[in-house]
């Protein structure tokens, strides 16, 4: 699934730096936790540093770890993601991005909705709280996400969970 911006151009959402940093960070950190391989986190840090410089990358990396860890711990299933650099978003990535954007825009109801759909019968409050901290770090490094309306979250959530990616 690809989210497209309503800019009059058919521009994929990951062409924007804030969304790209959030999703690539999620992908690298999620795979790092899955594999225990530090190279995932190092590559993720390098992607951030190339985009925003070392100081901002250090700030973001410092919040990526607890955000992804707490999000994983808040659910009773394995979270999904597409491979690094993919221009598409899977269902979980759409919900993660919506949760972060909602926190940045002060939309607690949409953040809660996205968290509930992401973690299912897990602990949505835990996932949402961790997302709030990372969303704040993104904002403090001048990475402002576009808002994602609750109707989009509901539409994404209604779609079937994808099969495991290899």
Return the pLDDT at 13.
86
Please state at what angle helix 54-73 crosses helix 38-52, rounded to 10 degrees: 140
Per-residue DSSP letters for 80-125? --PPTT-S---HHHHHHHHHHHHHHTT-HHHHHHHHHHHHTTS-HH
Query: For residue 153, what are the CA distances in angstroms to 31, 97, 125?
Result: 24, 10, 17
Digit-coded pLDDT (tens) for 111-145: 999 999 999 989 999 999 999 999 999 999 999 99
For the chain, which ranges sit under pLDDT 50? 1, 4-10, 163-166
Return the pLDDT at 91.
93
Q: Are residues 71 and 117 in contact, defined by beta-carbon separation less than 8 angstroms?
A: no
Of the chain, the percentage scoring pLDDT greater than 70 comes to 90
Query: For residue 104, what are the CA distances in angstroms to 40, 132, 145?
Result: 26, 8, 7
State the distance between the two ends of the chain, measured CA to CA, in whole angstroms: 17
């Amino acid at each position: 699934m690809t989210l497209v911006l309503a800019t009059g151009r058919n521009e994929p959402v990951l062409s924007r730096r804030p969304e790209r940093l959030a999703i690539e960070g999620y992908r690298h950190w999620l795979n790092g936790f899955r594999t225990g391989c530090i190279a995932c986190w190092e590559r993720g840090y390098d992607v951030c540093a190339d985009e925003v410089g070392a100081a901002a990358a250090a700030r973001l990396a410092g919040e990526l770890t607890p955000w992804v860890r707490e999000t994983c711990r808040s659910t009773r299933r394995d979270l999904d993601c597409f491979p690094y650099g993919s221009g598409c978003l899977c269902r979980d990535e759409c919900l993660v991005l919506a949760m972060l954007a909602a926190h940045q825009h002060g939309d607690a109801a949409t953040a809660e909705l996205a968290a509930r759909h992401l973690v299912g019968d897990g602990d949505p409050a835990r996932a949402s709280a961790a997302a709030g901290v990372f969303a704040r770090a993104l904002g403090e490094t001048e990475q402002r996400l576009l808002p994602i309306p609750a109707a989009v979250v509901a539409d994404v959530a209604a779609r079937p969970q994808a099969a495991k990616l290899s």
